[in-house]
Amino acid sequence: MARSKSDQAFDERIAKNSEELHELLTELYGEQADEAFRNLTELMKSSHAARPADLKRLDTKRLADPEWYKRGNMFGMTMYTDLFAGDLKKLADKVPYLKEQKLTYLHLMPLLKMPHPQNDGGYAVEDFDTVDPSLGTNEDLAALTKTLRAAGISLCLDFVMNHTASSHRWAKAAQAGDPKYQDYYYCYDDRTVPDQYDAVVPEVFPATAPGNFTWNEQMHKWVLTSFYPFQWDLNYHNPNVLVSVLSSVLGLANLGVEVFRIDAVPYIWKELGTNCRNLPQVHTIVRMLRIVLECVCPSVVLKGEVVMAPKELAAYFGTPEKPECHMLYNVSIMVNLWSALASGDVRLLKDQLDKLNALPENCWFVNYLRCHDDIGWGRVSASTRSSTRNSYTTSTRARYPAVGPWASCTTTTRRRRMLAAAAPRPACAVWNAR
């Protein structure tokens, strides 16, 4: 049976990238690279074979217009499915309204299966392959993406690369004593290695979740939990973890997801003796993710969550020859916009803009008013932080009720939601491309 033009193009992309992909796997895994390469290649082939025909047509269209996401008319919303519509089916009914708002991009907050109620706003994922039953089914998600595409709206979902929920099947197997799945995480019998990490690795939430490790009584081991005790860090030193994660990404892409916001990406590789931030291996993994997507589903783009100083950002775009993320959140500009609004002083904003504009041309940022996450007050002076917060919480709340696109300006973030479960969540937030 003759192969279709789409299949032939896929074969060509595989052939073009196979050598680099094997080299990158060898950098990480040495003698284990050959097996990982075989497994990953088979995954890519099966994922492309399973990709729906309409998405393959979209791939072909986007290959002819690779910078489609950089258009000046890109305008998006971030929203919680349950707060905006109730569930995915009801959200599909509201697509005409979203199109009326001139949206071209919709970012739905985490909707994959999660434990309840302790889930960090959905960022503690229990199953990377399945929609949370409270919001619908995988079939509902596929139907929604099809409806959105017909309306000219691309769907973005978060993909949490750094950790799983402690109730994920891998974590449950680890707790039951399975050494295979204990090697999916960082598990230690005593404090020897954890103490070595803690000596140099900063705490993410020192006030609410101090320490980088959590004792698991069932397993009688210490587990690396960089964020919260119920979020177990994945061990990418194990190639099976990488292949499993990529399998889930490709599965979601085949449901019609067009943009992946990769969560907490600077943290994903851990190495003793380092601060476990922005390590070279992180870029190796992101580069591999980019290659895999370009081979299997080239219409899909990566948006990185990199909450770091401007000097750290350029590396996450890779190079024009070997690209990584397609775009990053413009975190510092969002913070300094609110600072300038409150203080009437644009000097800090200008300084940040100058630093970002000095980055290479391949650096492309999403400019946004607010998202679900924190305003990074630590990036500004104490006096500016105080004046901005005061202005932000009085004048803005008085002006905008806690509904619609400005709702995220009035609520606690997902990080705090674990401790303040009764706090209202934003329905949606607004952004546009650079």
244 half-sphere exposure, CB direction, 13 A CA radius: 19
Q: Contact, 369 vs 375, CB < 8 A?
A: no
DSSP letters for 234-264: B-TTSHHHHHHHHHHHHHHHTTT--EEEEET
**Per-residue pLDDT, 425:** 43
Q: Where are the alpha helices (DSSP H) in 272-344?
A: 280-296, 310-313, 331-343
Q: The domain 169-232: what is its CATH number?
A: 3.90.400.10
**Per-residue pLDDT, 197:** 96
* Sole residue written with tokens 């919480």: 393
* SS3 state at 292: helix
**Per-residue pLDDT, 364:** 87
Q: Please give the residue that has the higher pLDDT: either 228 or 396.
A: 228
Inform me whether the pLDDT recorded for 135 exceeds 90: yes
Kindly list the domain boundaries of the chain, sorted by start residue.
5-160+239-433, 169-232
**Per-residue pLDDT, 210:** 92
- Which residues have CB under 8 Å from 39's CB, separation 6+? 239, 243
Inform me whether the pLDDT recorded for 29 exceeds 90: yes
Q: How far apart are CA 250 and CA 256, in angstroms?
A: 10
Q: Contact, 281 vs 29, CB < 8 A?
A: no
Tokens of 96: 């005409």
Q: Contact, 336 vs 380, CB < 8 A?
A: yes
| Amino acid sitting at position 259 | V
DSSP state of 316: G
Helix or strand holding residue 222 (H, E)? strand 221-224
| Amino acid sitting at position 287 | R
Inform me whether the pLDDT recorded for 43 exceeds 80: yes
Q: Please give the residue that has the higher pLDDT: either 377 or 394.
A: 377
Q: Please give the residue that has the higher pLDDT: either 397 or 130.
A: 130
Q: Please give the residue that has the higher pLDDT: either 83 or 313.
A: 83
Tokens of 242: 């990488």
* SS3 state at 366: strand
**Per-residue pLDDT, 373:** 67
Fold of 5-160+239-433: TIM Barrel (3.20.20)
pLDDT confidence band for 374 (50 / 70 / 90) = low
What is the mean predicted confidence (pLDDT) over 92-101?
96
The string of pLDDT tens digits covering residues 399-420 is 222 222 222 322 223 333 332 2
Question: Is position 305 annotated as part of the catalytic site?
Answer: yes
Inform me whether the pLDDT recorded for 305 exceeds 90: no
CA angle 246, 75, 57 (to 5 degrees): 50
pLDDT confidence band for 331 (50 / 70 / 90) = confident
Inform me whether the pLDDT recorded for 96 exceeds 90: yes
pLDDT confidence band for 394 (50 / 70 / 90) = very low
**Per-residue pLDDT, 330:** 82
Tokens of 136: 């619908």
410 half-sphere exposure, CB direction, 13 A CA radius: 19
Maximum distance among all alpha carbons in the chain? 70
Mean pLDDT of the chain: 86
Q: Find the catalytic residue in 132, 305, 324, 373.
A: 305
Q: Do 5-160+239-433 and 169-232 agree at the fold level?
A: no
Q: Is the bond leading into 117 cis (omega within 30 degrees of zero)? A: yes
Question: Is position 263 annotated as part of the catalytic site?
Answer: yes
The string of pLDDT tens digits covering residues 145-189 is 999 999 999 999 999 999 999 999 999 999 999 999 999 999 999
**Per-residue pLDDT, 355:** 86
pLDDT confidence band for 8 (50 / 70 / 90) = very high
Q: Contact, 309 vs 236, CB < 8 A?
A: no
Tokens of 402: 């806690």
Q: How far apart are CA 63 and CA 72, in angstroms?
A: 19
Inform me whether the pLDDT recorded for 236 exceeds 60: yes
Q: Contact, 227 vs 163, CB < 8 A?
A: yes
What is the mean predicted confidence (pLDDT) over 58-74?
92
Q: Find the catalytic residue in 263, 294, 324, 373.
A: 263
| Cβ neighbour number for residue 413 with a 10 Å cutoff | 18
* SS3 state at 77: strand
What is the mean predicted confidence (pLDDT) over 310-321?
88
Q: What is the pTM of this model?
A: 0.87
What is the mean predicted confidence (pLDDT) over 259-284?
95
Inform me whether the pLDDT recorded for 272 exceeds 90: yes
Please state the φ and ψ torsions of residue 60, each to the nearest 5 degrees.
Answer: -60, -40
Inform me whether the pLDDT recorded for 198 exceeds 70: yes
